[in-house]
């Protein structure tokens, strides 16, 4: 229970269905961070207080699992390493893969739990021999993009109570249950850390390394403080001007050069083929050499038709029917069946 309305309603629904529910707040980051409002903020204190209020209302116990040491090592250090290498990592996916599901379940199981439940917007359909995951009823809130690393062994003990509801319905249920956070605004930013100024956060571990900004035609148009602080498709923060806005098209890590394209529809901003590593298939039966899929390379990007092709034992490529915009190495490409089934995903290399 994060303190947000989604996990709160998930707990309320499970209790109503007859489960013996114990709330768990995960304390993963306690360091103050500089937010966009220019304030030093301790995100976890307010969130835990909200979770406590909800638990009291529901009449359930609330435990706190402290995974700060593991989170720092497996998620935050990973984030710094990836940015330093010129890639754009997704800490939310890394957290789900290495913290939220494996460590959370291990601790809960020791305490006698049969299942763990979260407030993710995704639909789980249990089947023998394999369970299946589907895009949530609320496609605008669907979080399947962040859950592609899940395995069949994990799905055996997972529950996702709100996947069959719209966000508006979840809000209505929170009000009906009398939850104190029924109208709390949704949070964003880095998982468990908050709405931080990313460049300032990265500067804590990655020193500035100024270099040239050049266009795709080779013209020098400015200087950057460090290519680590930018991602493919980024427009703001470049501090350069032209007839049209400039967008980051590529990063030359070896030569410390940021390559930009003028205009949001420049051909350099599109890719038709995407190479993938660290592939995971939710359902092992889909591990074949060529498969027609619907895929996205960014969260909330419309699904696009593509072919998933096996190149090597642990390497695949997505070949899209139509070129995709702003493909960033380090991010995830996630693929689906026509029925909305989440088939799996991988890291863009």
User: What backbone phi and psi angles, to 5 degrees, belong to 223?
Assistant: -125, 150
Q: What is the pLDDT of residues 305-330, one digit of tens each?
A: 999 999 988 889 999 999 999 999 99
Residue 194 lies in a domain: no
Domain of residue 27, residue span: 5-119+161-176
Query: Within this chain, do residues 91 and 218 fall inside the same structural domain, yes or no?
Result: no
What percent of the chain lies above the pLDDT cut of 70? 93
Number of domains observed in the structure of the chain? 3
Between the alpha carbon of residue 23 and those of residues 56, 69, 78, 218, the distances in Å are 10, 21, 28, 56
Query: Within this chain, do residues 260 and 275 fall inside the same structural domain, yes or no?
Result: no
Residue 260 lies in a domain: yes
Residue 26 lies in a domain: yes
Nearest-angstrom CA–CA distance, 103 and 109: 10
Q: What is the pLDDT of residues 55-82, one digit of tens each?
A: 999 999 999 999 999 999 999 999 999 9
Tell me the whole-structure pTM to 2 decimals.
0.91
CA 62, 178, 5, 10 torsion-angle sign: positive
What percent of the chain lies above the pLDDT cut of 90? 81
Query: Within this chain, do residues 59 and 17 fall inside the same structural domain, yes or no?
Result: yes
pLDDT for 115 equals 97
Query: Within this chain, do residues 67 and 109 fall inside the same structural domain, yes or no?
Result: yes
Residues taking part in catalysis: 95, 191
Query: Within this chain, do residues 233 and 320 fall inside the same structural domain, yes or no?
Result: no
Q: What is the pLDDT of residues 326-347, one digit of tens each?
A: 999 999 999 999 999 999 999 9
Residue 141 lies in a domain: no
Nearest-angstrom CA–CA distance, 112 and 63: 14
Residue 190 lies in a domain: no
């Amino acid at each position: 229970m994060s303190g947000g309305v989604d996990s709160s309603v998930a707990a309320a629904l499970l209790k109503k269905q007859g489960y013996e529910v114990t709330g768990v707040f995960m304390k993963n980051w306690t360091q103050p961070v500089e937010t966009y409002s220019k304030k030093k903020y301790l995100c976890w204190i307010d969130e835990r207080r909200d979770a406590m209020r909800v638990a009291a209302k529901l009449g359930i116990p609330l435990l706190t699992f402290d995974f700060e040491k593991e989170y720092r090592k497996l998620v935050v250090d990973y984030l710094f390493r990836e940015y330093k290498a010129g890639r754009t990592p997704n800490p939310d996916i890394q957290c789900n893969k290495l913290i939220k599901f494996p460590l959370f379940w291990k601790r809960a199981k020791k305490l006698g739990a049969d299942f763990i439940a979260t407030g993710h917007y995704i639909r789980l359909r249990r089947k023998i021999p394999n369970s299946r995951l589907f895009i949530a009823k609320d496609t605008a809130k669907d979080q399947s993009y962040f859950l592609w690393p899940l395995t069949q062994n994990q799905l055996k003990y997972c529950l996702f109570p709100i996947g069959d509801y719209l966000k508006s319905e979840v809000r209505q249920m929170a009000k009906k249950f009398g939850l104190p956070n029924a109208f709390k605004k949704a949070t964003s930013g880095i998982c468990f850390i908050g709405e931080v100024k990313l460049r300032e956060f990265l500067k804590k571990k990655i020193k500035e390394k100024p270099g040239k900004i050049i266009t795709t035609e080779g013209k020098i148009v400015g200087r950057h403080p460090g290519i680590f602080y930018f991602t493919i498709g980024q427009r703001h923060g470049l501090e350069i001007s032209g007839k049209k806005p400039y967008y980051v098209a590529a990063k030359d890590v070896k030569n410390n050069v940021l390559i930009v394209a003028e205009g949001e529809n420049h051909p350099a901003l599109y890719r038709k083929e995407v190479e993938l590593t660290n592939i995971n298939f939710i359902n092992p039966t889909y591990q074949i050499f060529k498969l027609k899929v619907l895929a996205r390379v960014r969260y909330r990007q419309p699904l696009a038709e593509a072919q998933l092709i096996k190149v090597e034992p642990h390497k695949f490529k997505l070949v899209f029917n139509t070129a995709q915009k702003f493909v960033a190495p380090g991010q995830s490409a996630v693929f689906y069946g026509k029925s909305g089934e989440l088939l799996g995903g991988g890291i863009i290399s």
